[in-house]
Structure 1
Amino acid sequence: SGHRLRLLTWDVKDTLLRLRQPVGPSYAAEAQAHGVQVEPEALNQSFLKAYRAQSRRFPNYGRAEGLSSRQWWVDVVKETFRLAGVHEDTVLSLIAENLYRDYCSAHNWELLPEASETLSWCHQQGLRMGVVSNFDNRLESILVHCSLRHHFDFVLTSEAVGVAKPDPKIFKTALRLGGVRPEEAAHIGDDYSKDYRAAREVGMHSFLLHTPGQSTQPEVPPGHILPTLSRLLAVIKKG
């Protein structure tokens, strides 16, 4: 490439960490602890509806409208249960607060295969690393609890920056914090438009984590596709 890579930026959800189970079973278990029975599948469906509606109405955790992400999520959880037929507000407030706190901890998250090893290897190569994620401000503590935070020089969330990927501003902020030119940086993520294409549009290199079996992506050269995270090692060595 003519430019040695100096900075790697990483997406987190479904790139480095994923939920151990869908939200339905987690939400159902929390409800059951309060004596409320709801089918996990019903909660999966109503969560998608509630999340999409809230995201349309208050993009990026309502930051522009002065909402806290905590309030944003509490409202999503309550609406999820209301759509599934649960309406007792006192119980819903308890459930929502508990879930908000639980998703901060490690027990709802697991590392993707090879995440830890790949980050350690990149770190040993002397690469600077940062996170660029459409996430709320709980991400710092999630990364700490999952023993990943120490790999990163900085963690940029869409809530903190005030814009979400694919907005170029979040990538430009990462380049500034990393102290590099775009051609000296690469972004790794699992979403074609928010990760792969958005990073390329600001002039960065980009790699798409694309596990076999997913539908094929438009215009992504095979050399830019990572079937597993460890493929990155070969790519960087070659560069």
Structure 2
Amino acid sequence: MLRLRLLTWDVKDTLLRLRQPVGESYAAQARAHGLRVPPAALSRAFREAYGAQSRLLPNYGCSQGLSSRRWWLDVVKQTFRLAGVHEDQVLTLMAENLYHDFCSAHNWEVLPGASETLSRCCRLGLRMGVVSNFDNRLESILSQCNLRRHFDFILTSEEAGFAKPDRRVFEQALRLGGVPPEQAAHVGDDYERDYRAARAVGMHGFLLRPAGQGPEPHVPPEHVLPTLGHLLARIEKG
């Protein structure tokens, strides 16, 4: 059995997922303002706007003095502009509404097995924390989805000032957890940002890779989780 004292967790697509595609949520918001914009067009526009903003102002523009709220409002407005909506007053209203909507459980759902796995890990006496490339809305989202109670700390990239796979995020998490890296493991769905980055600081790593996605060639099978329910068996085997 692995001698673990701390488990850290990614959130998006590891513990929580969006209830519907971003384009659908944006299209519903547009309809509420009397606008008909195809969800597929909004999905494409969002990917373009989000990508451009992330390259120009990485990690929500923290190092450039921007707030994550302002960062997201700009992304939403640019998404609608790229999809053909240009009225400033409507853009501002829709951006504010969507920013608040994505802070609620209305837009997020807990992945199958997440609550049960977290509860079982707590019963084992493991300390647990979140390490996520998310903004400061995450604590509220986790609370509304009834997951916050499982964690000793929540470390977002906005709070840390660095985004995964930067090793400094994991080093901060280890300090918050009060354990050396060899007594900690990280669970996530992204090979570079979660699995490889955690192992680079000496932590153990588990990669959530649902069946059908195909194997990750650089990850030993015993480090791969077809479902979150496989985690406890992997820890006990390790």
Q: Which residue does 2:229 correspond to in 1?
A: 230
Q: Which residue does 2:118 correspond to in 1?
A: 119
1:59 Cα deviation after fit: 0.0
Identity of paired residues, percent?
72
Task: Output aligned runs, 1:1-239, within 5 Å.
Answer: 4-239=3-238
1-side partners of 2:222 and 2:17: how far apart?
25
1:235 Cα deviation after fit: 1.5
1:215 Cα deviation after fit: 3.5
2-side partners of 1:54 and 1:85: how far apart?
18
Q: Residues 84-137 of structure 1, C-alpha deviation per residue, up to 9 Å, x if partnerless?
A: 000001000000000000000001000111000000000011000000000000
TM superposition outliers: structure 1 runs of 4+ over 3 Å: none
1:233 Cα deviation after fit: 1.2
Q: Residues 163-216 of structure 1, C-alpha deviation per residue, up to 9 Å, x if partnerless?
A: 000000000011111110100000000000000000000000000000011143
Code of the aligned partner of 2:152 = D
1:37 Cα deviation after fit: 1.0
Query: Alignment RMSD, CA only?
Result: 0.8
Code of the aligned partner of 2:126 = L
Code of the aligned partner of 1:62 = G
Code of the aligned partner of 1:234 = A
SS in 1 for 2:7: strand
Code of the aligned partner of 2:19 = R
Which ranges in structure 2 are unaligned for 5 or more consecutive residues? none
Code of the aligned partner of 1:195 = D
1-side partners of 2:141 and 2:30: how far apart?
23
TM-score, length-scaled by structure 2: 0.98
SS in 2 for 1:38: coil
May I ask how many residue pairs the two structures share in their alignment? 238
SS in 1 for 2:106: helix
2-side partners of 1:163 and 1:106: how far apart?
26
Code of the aligned partner of 1:64 = S
**Bigger shift: residues 199-208 or 212-221:** 212-221
2-side partners of 1:206 and 1:132: how far apart?
13
2-side partners of 1:236 and 1:50: how far apart?
40
TM-score, length-scaled by structure 1: 0.98
2-side partners of 1:163 and 1:110: how far apart?
26
